[in-house]
Each structure stands twice: as structure tokens, then as C-alpha cells.
Structure 1
Amino acid sequence: MKTYITLAIISILITFSACTDVIDVDVQSAPARLTIEASLDWEKGTSGNEQTIKLSTSTPYFGSNGNSSVTGASVTVTNKANGETYVFEDQNNGQYTTTSFVPVLNGTYTLEVIYNNETYTATERLVPVVDITDLTQSRNKGFNDEDLEVNVIFSDPEEEENFYLFKFKERGDLLPYLEDADDEFVNGNEISWYFEKEEDESTDKKEAFVPGDIIDIEFYGISEHYYNFIRILIEQSGGTGLFSSTPVPLKGNCINESNPDNYAYGYFRLTEMVKKSYTFQ
């Protein structure tokens, strides 16, 4: 009897193996595009002279080439008010650096990148930011009144429209959380912006902050154009839900002057920013 059972099992396995088909799926592809990561951030209390711009090319989602760094490009930033130009030197790893940048609040700067005989340009203003006046913790502002949250407190200037970007990163985490804000309904008031740890969609688990956790906070003043850009990017990076819009290629402010159809990804921004850290009690 055991022999018959063994033969039957072998026969079934052979049958299922013989029925296995290889299905080829055509995956949409797109031409590789230049990606410009040009975030010139001036931390309060520093000279801001050291800045880095990163260049790479977009790669297919299922591609096997992990190195998309761009070398051999020409990268400069020019202060439009006085014509002073800062050359970003090629480090041969996709990074282009300078140690002579001079940040001027509300100054307008132009980025020029020359790559593969095509010229990309972008223009942006260096946006100031107010100081963080206090950091506190609470449990009653978030989605769960039992979870700890950090509160970033600052006073919004009354005489102008302001747009902000927050970057929250717990010590030990790989990636930060980004949140955008504007002062449309709170202009001229003291603002308390809270951050509570979000649910991990990959595991359906939510690990709240506990006493002893340290969170690093970066607070940026950003332009309205960059606010509109980063808001869509944050929304798309959160995945698609029932009421979410379908993700589409997101164009920044970098224009290909030589061949407009061959546009670049990324953005050229200039910001003043504040760094703080908070330890939960």
C-alpha cells in the first residue's frame, strides 16, 4: 500500500510540474532622465558655504543597474543680483560640491547644469524661516490620545504668506517623515505643529514613541512653488488609497533649454532651516 501511495504522490507532482507555464509580462519602460537633487539649505548659525548638488539618471523599477550616478556634468549656481557664480566641482560619484557659496536671504539664484550637450536651468529664491521657540510633548493632539507626540512651536510672521517643510526622523530610523504646511488659516499666530509616529503599512503595526526616544527635527522655509511640488510628492509617496489620485511623473522647476521634451526630474530649492532634537520624557 505504501508503494502505491508513494507512486501516486510522485505522479501528482510530475503532473503539476508539467502544467507550469512561463508568462512574460510586458512592463512599461521610459527613457532615462536626468534627476537633479539641488537642495541648498542654509542652517541658521552657520555660514552655509558648503553645499552639495546630486545628479543621477532615472532607472527602471525592475532594473538591475544600481549605479545611476552622473559624472562629467557642469554645474553652477549664480546670484542674479550681483552676478556672482559658484562652481560645483565634480566628485566623480554623482555629487557636485562647493565650499564658497554665499547665501543671501530672499536672494534669487539660477542653477545651470550642462549634461550630454544639453543645458538645464532653474531659478529659485532663498526663503527665510522663523526660529523654533519651543519643543514640547503631549498625548492629546494626535489620532490616538494614548500616544506620545512632539510639538514644534513657532510664531508665523503676519506680514507675508509663508510655507513650511518639516522633516522628522527618529534616531535609528532609516528614512525621515516629511510634512508640509502653510499659514493660510493661521497667519500671524503662534503655531504648535504636532508629529505622531505613523502606522507602518508594510506590517500593519504602529509603534508609538516611548520615553527615551530621540527625534531629530528640521524646519524649513520654502517657496510657494516648492510647496506645491513637495505636497504632491508627499501625497504620492504615501501610496494610493480609495480616494487617492493616480501617481504621475512629477516635474520640478528644472527646464531643459536645449530640448524641452527631454525634461529632468528633481527640483532646485534654496531654504533657510533650523535643526533641533527632542528626547521624550
Structure 2
Amino acid sequence: MKTYIKSLVVLLFITITACEDVVDVTVPTATPRLVIEASLDWQKGTTGNEQIVKLSTSTPYFDSNRNNPVTNATVTVTNVNSGVMYNFVNQNNGTYSINNFEPVLGNTYNLEIVYNNETYTASETLVSVSPIKRVEQSIDGGFDDEVLDVSIFWDDPVDEENYYLLRFYEQGDIVPVLETQQDEFVNGNELDEFFEKESDDSDEFEEFNPGDVVEMSLYGISKQYDHYINILIEQYDAAGDPFSTIPGKLKGNCINQTNPENFAFGYFRLSEFDTVTYTFQ
């Protein structure tokens, strides 16, 4: 009997190990593309002179190195209305900075980047934004009437088509929360947006608690950027959802004039913004 059991165990072990096959999956990779982070943001109450453009190249999905800075490019921004050109200084770490930029609301600016003998260009207008007029904390302003939330309020200009980007960031979080809003049906009224975190029975600190600090920013953006960032937010929110639409390549407004097929990722944006920091009570 012992011999029978021993033989059965050996047979079972051989059967299990014989079923193990190593499957090599070839993951397709794409040629690295230029990634342009060119958001020239002018905070209310400041000069807006200091601005930064970040350049890098895209990386394969499974690549452990997620940061490939571009250190051999030239970056210039030109105010089309005045003709003034701003040369951004290469910091040799993927960032290109300037400390004498002059933001002018309503003026159009052209971006030019020369990289690997190819020229990328983009054009945008500096969009204004109304100031944040007040902040309110409550437990009934969001979806869950048992957790804290916070709202910001601002006045939408009359007889204007306005688009807004809202950025909410709690101290300690890895990434901010982005939302968009437009005034298509509420033109000229007081607008508001709330920020709330869902409760989590396993983590009492997941939702907002007294003492939590949140930074909230309101940006004026163009209609074109509103379309772009909405698609980007949708793709980010759908990550990991097996029933979501397969995300496609999201093209911004940066055009490769030398080789259009070798397009860049990213966007060139100019925004005035207002920001407020709030501590929950």
C-alpha cells in the first residue's frame, strides 16, 4: 500500500511539472516620440516671468526607466502680437526655463522646438480666468452626505464662452484630481465645483478629515485644450477597466513640421489661474 501511494505521488508530480510550459509573449514596441509638457501658467498676483517647458521621450509600457529627459533641443516662444521672442535656457535635465517671460492676456503665442533636426510648432492664446471668490466646507455638497467635501466659487464672465480646468490636490497624495467645466448653459452666473473623497471602511483616513490640507486651482483654458484634456481624463479614469474603450494615441497641438508622421505627445497651453489652500475644520 505504501508503495502504491508513493508511486501515485511521483506520477502526480510528473504530470504537474510536465504541464508547465514557458510562454514567451512578444510585446510590440513603438519608436520613442517626443513628449512636450509646455504649460505656461500665470498665477494671479504674480509677474508670471518664470516659466518651464519639460521635454522627454516616450518609453515602452514595461520599461522600468520611466524618465528619458531630452537634453539636446532648443525651445523658443514668440508673442505673435508684439513679435517678442523668448529663448528658454537648457538646464541639461529635460527642463528649459526662462525668467523674463511677459504674459499678456488675450495675446497669441507660438512655440517652436527643434529636436533631432526636426521642428515642432504649436500656437495658443493666453486665456484669462475669474478669481476664486470663496471656499465652503460641508457634508452635503457632494455625493455622500456623511463625508466632508469642499467647494470653490467664482463668477463666470457675461457674454463670453469660457472653459475651465480645476485641479484639486490634497497634501500627501501622489497625483492631483483634474476636472473640467464650461459655461455653455450657465453663462454669466456664479459657478462652483466640489471636491470629495469616497469613504472607505478599511481606511478612516481615505475620506477628508479635520486638519487635511487641500490646494485648489482654477485655470482658464481654450476650447481646443478642453477637448484634449477631457479625453485624457477619460482615458486615465478608465485605466484597468476591462470594459472600457481601448485608448488611442492622443495627439495634442504640437505639429512636427519636418515629418508630420513623427508627431509629438503633449500640449502647448497658456493659462491664467487662481489658487487657494484650504484646511478642513
Relative to the length of structure 1, the TM-score reads 0.92
C-alpha contact 1:197 1:206 (8 A) present in aligned 2: no
Post-superposition Cα deviations, 1:229-265, rounded to whole Å, max 9, x if no partner, equal 0011001100165874331110000000001111100
Residues in 1 aligned to 2:94 and 2:242: alpha-carbon distance in whole angstroms: 38
3-state SS in 2 of match to 1:230: helix
Tell me if structure 2 keeps the 8 A contact 1:165–1:178: yes
Identify the residue that residue 52 of structure 1 maps to in structure 2. Answer: 52
State the 1:154 CA deviation: 0.6
Q: Give how far 1:10 is off.
A: 5.8
Give, in whole Å, the separation in 1 of the partners of 2:225 and 2:34.
Answer: 19
1:187 is paired with a residue of what secondary structure? coil
Number of the residue aligned with 1:142:
142
Give the structure 2 partner of residue 122 of structure 1.
122
Task: Give the letter aligned to residue 235 of structure 1.
Answer: E
Aligned to 1:208: 207
Structure-2 residue corresponding to 1:68 = 68
The more displaced of 4-13 and 99-108 is 4-13
- Cα 1:265–1:83 change in 2 (3 A) is same
Task: Provide structure 1 residue ranges, at least 5 long, that are not aligned to the other structure.
Answer: none
> Residue 107 of structure 2 corresponds to which residue in structure 1?
107
User: What is the distance in 2 between the residues matched to 1:181 and 1:164?
Assistant: 5
Q: Match for residue 226 of structure 2?
A: 227
Cα deviation 1:83-111 (Å, max 9, x = unaligned)? 11111111111111111111111110000
Residue 19 of structure 1: how far off its partner (Å): 2.1
Structure 1 window deviating more from structure 2 (48-57 vs 4-13): it is: 4-13
The change in CA–CA distance for 1:204 and 1:63 in structure 2 (over 3 A counts) is farther
Could you say which residue in structure 2 is the equivalent of 1:269?
A: 269
Q: How does 1:120-269 map to 2 (within 5 A)?
A: 120-198=120-198, 207-239=206-238, 241=241, 244-269=244-269
User: C-alpha offsets along residues 136-195 of structure 1, whole Å, 9 cap, x if unaligned?
Assistant: 011223221111111101110012011000110111111100001101111101112111
From the superposition, tell whether residues 154 and 43 of structure 1 become closer, same or farther in structure 2 (CA, over 3 Å): same
For residues 120 and 199 of structure 2, the distance between their equivalents in structure 1, rounded to whole angstroms, comes to: 39
1:92 maps to 92
CA distance in structure 2 between the aligned counterparts of 1:3 and 1:276, rounded to whole angstroms: 78
- Matches of 2:257 and 2:73 in 1, distance apart? 15
- Distance across 2 between alignment mates of 1:97 and 1:126: 18
Distance 2:6 2:204 in 1: 44
Give, in whole Å, the separation in 1 of the partners of 2:218 and 2:71: 31
Q: Would the aligned equivalents of 1:132 and 1:154 in 2 still touch at CA under 8 Å? A: yes
RMSD: 2.3
CA spacing shift, 1:5–1:214, aligned 2, 3 Å:
farther
Amino acid at match of 2:257: E
Supply the distance in 2 between the matched residues of 1:54 and 1:113 (Cα, whole angstroms). Answer: 11
Q: Check 1:33–1:215 CA distance in 2 against 1; reply closer, same or farther (3 A cut).
A: same
Tell me, yes or no, if the aligned pair for 1:88 and 1:96 is still in contact at 8 Å.
yes
Q: Percent identity?
A: 56
- TM-score, structure 2 length as denominator? 0.92
CA shift at 1:8, angstroms? 5.3
Task: Give the secondary structure class of the aligned counterpart of 1:235.
Answer: helix
Name the amino acid aligned to 2:261.
D
C-alpha separation between the residues in 1 aligned to 2:144 and 2:2? 59
Give the SS at the match of 2:226. helix
- Structure 2 residue runs of 5 or longer lacking an equivalent are none
Deviation larger for 133-142 or 31-40: 133-142
AA of the residue aligned to 1:212? G
**Alignment size in residue pairs:** 279
| 2:132 match: secondary structure | coil
